[in-house]
Structure 1
Amino acid sequence: MKRGEQDIHPVLALQAVNSRAKVIGEPLRGHLPLEERLALQREQAYLYELKNRAARILLDEGLLRPVAVDRGALLVVGGTPVGMRGFHLPLDQFEGDMARAQGQERPVFGQIRDAQATLAQVNQAVAVLTRIIVRRRVR
C-alpha cells in the first residue's frame, strides 16, 4: 500500500465509503437537474457495489461477522482501532451468511465522531477497498 493508505483500516474504509454513499442520497431526495441526478445515482450505485464486494471479502477473512437480520438487511460488524463498526448488507447478496448471524450478540458501536478523520478520506478508502477486491484478500 502507498503511504497514507496503510493507515486506513479496511473496516473503516468500508465505513467511509458507506457514509459517502448515504450522503449522496440526501440531495437525491430533492429536485435536481436530470444530468446531476444521474451522475449522483451512478456514484452512489458504484459506492454501494464497492462496499458489497469488499464486505464479501472481509466476511470471508473474518474481519466482519454477521450478527442479525435487521431492517430487511444483514447486519455485520467488525472491530477497528476506534471501536466496533456495523453495516447493513443486502440480503439478496448475502443470503448464505444469514445462518451465521443466528444467536450472535449485538455489539455496542462506537461513536461516528470517533472516525471522522477516516470519513474525510473517501478517496483513499475507495483505493483501499478496490485493492482488496482486486487481490481478493485484505493483505
Structure 2
Amino acid sequence: MIRSLKTFAVALFVASGISVASAAGLDAFGWKNRVLIVFANPGNPDAAEQRRLLVDDTKALADRDMVVLDVVSDTVKPIYGKADAVTAQELRNDAGVMEGSRFTVILVGKDGGIKLRATEPVGPDQLFGLIDSMPMRANEASR
C-alpha cells in the first residue's frame, strides 16, 4: 500500500511539473491580456494579411487588453503589446501548434483558455465580436 502511494505521489509530481512547464509561455499574460498568436512559415501571405487586418485598429486592441504576437520559426515578434521572455517553442506547446504549420491563428483569453483557432486570417469584426461576446469582456465594458 505504501509503495503504491509513493508511486502515485511521484507520478503526480512529475505530471504537475510537466503541466507547469508547458504553460510557462502564456502564463506571463494570464488575467492581464488576451493574446492573439499568429503562427506562420516565413513569407506566408496569410500572416501578412492578418497583420494588415489588425495594425490600424490599435484603439480596439488596447480597449480589449490585447497582445498580438507573430511566431515565425524560432522568433516571437510583438505586433501589438509586449512579449517579454516568451519563446516560440513555449507558445507552440501551449497552443498545440506544430513547428512548420503553414498558418494558424490562436486567440487565448485572459483565463488562459483557447477561444479561437483558425487556419485563415481573422478579420477585426469576427475577432472583436467574439471577444465582446465573452462574459469577462462584458463585465469589463460595464465598468
Q: What is the TM-score with the length of structure 1 in the denominator? A: 0.29
Richer in helix (by share): 1
Q: TM-score scaled to structure 2, two decimals?
A: 0.29
Larger Rg over CA atoms: 2
Higher relative CO (Cα under 8 Å, sequence separation at least 6) belongs to 1
